[in-house]
């Protein structure tokens, strides 16, 4: 019996591991995992899965690129200094089909799983020691004005959505997520 209970506990941790990133009542965002691979993060691979839950009676718009982020790495509660910093470029103009691919509509009182939200990006190069434990601290603000700026070329598509009374979500994200080798 103890073996069965231990196995079920282990299985539930694997199947249901997620980290809540928001603490607001209108919208909930969860990272569907409990850790991030160091190599994946530092290589710029942002194929992470998220669950977004709309608790409002409104249609909400979220875009893949609407995050004004301030991410950094800590070890033993100390900020790790990067070796070098990358400069971010200007957004590229998107075509209509790209607008549809990068904008997500959350129906009222619904949830959606989204792959590849751009919130964990690190614009720096770090040399991390394998023997130390590290955490990614993510602090992001999903802002309607920033989302519209990053969706350069999507003005017509955004105007159509807003004419239907859809509105951009506005929320803060804060979390510490373990980095693993």
Q: Count of domains in the chain?
A: 1
Predicted pLDDT of residue 87: 66
Residue 6 maps to a domain: no
What is the pTM for the complete model shown? 0.79
Residue 120 maps to a domain = yes
Residue 9 has phi, psi (to 5 degrees) of -65, -45
Identify whether 8 is part of a domain. Answer: no
Tokens 């509105």 locate to: 167
Per-residue model confidence as pLDDT tens digits over 8-52: 444 444 445 899 999 889 999 999 999 988 777 777 666 788 999
Chain centre to alpha carbon of residue 23: 14
Answer yes or no: is 121 within a domain: yes
**Domain that includes residue 38, residue range:** 14-180
């Amino acid at each position: 019996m103890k073996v069965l209970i231990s196995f079920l506990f282990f299985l539930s941790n694997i199947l249901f591991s997620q980290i809540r990133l928001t603490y607001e009542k209108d919208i909930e965002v969860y990272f569907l995992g409990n850790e991030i691979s160091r190599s994946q993060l530092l290589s710029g691979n942002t194929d992470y899965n998220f669950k977004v839950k709309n608790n409002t009676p409104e249609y909400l718009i979220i875009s893949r690129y609407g995050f004004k982020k301030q991410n950094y790495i800590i070890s033993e509660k100390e900020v790790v200094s990067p070796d070098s910093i990358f400069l971010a470029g200007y957004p590229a103009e998107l075509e209509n089909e790209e607008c549809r691919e990068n904008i997500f509509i959350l129906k009222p009182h619904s949830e959606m799983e989204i792959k590849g939200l751009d919130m964990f990006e690190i614009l720096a190069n770090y040399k991390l020691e394998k023997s130390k434990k590290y955490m990614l601290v993510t602090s992001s603000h999903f802002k309607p004005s920033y989302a519209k700026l990053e969706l350069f070329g999507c003005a017509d598509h955004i105007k159509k959505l807003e004419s239907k009374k859809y509105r951009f979500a506005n929320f803060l994200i804060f979390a510490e997520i373990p980095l693993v080798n």
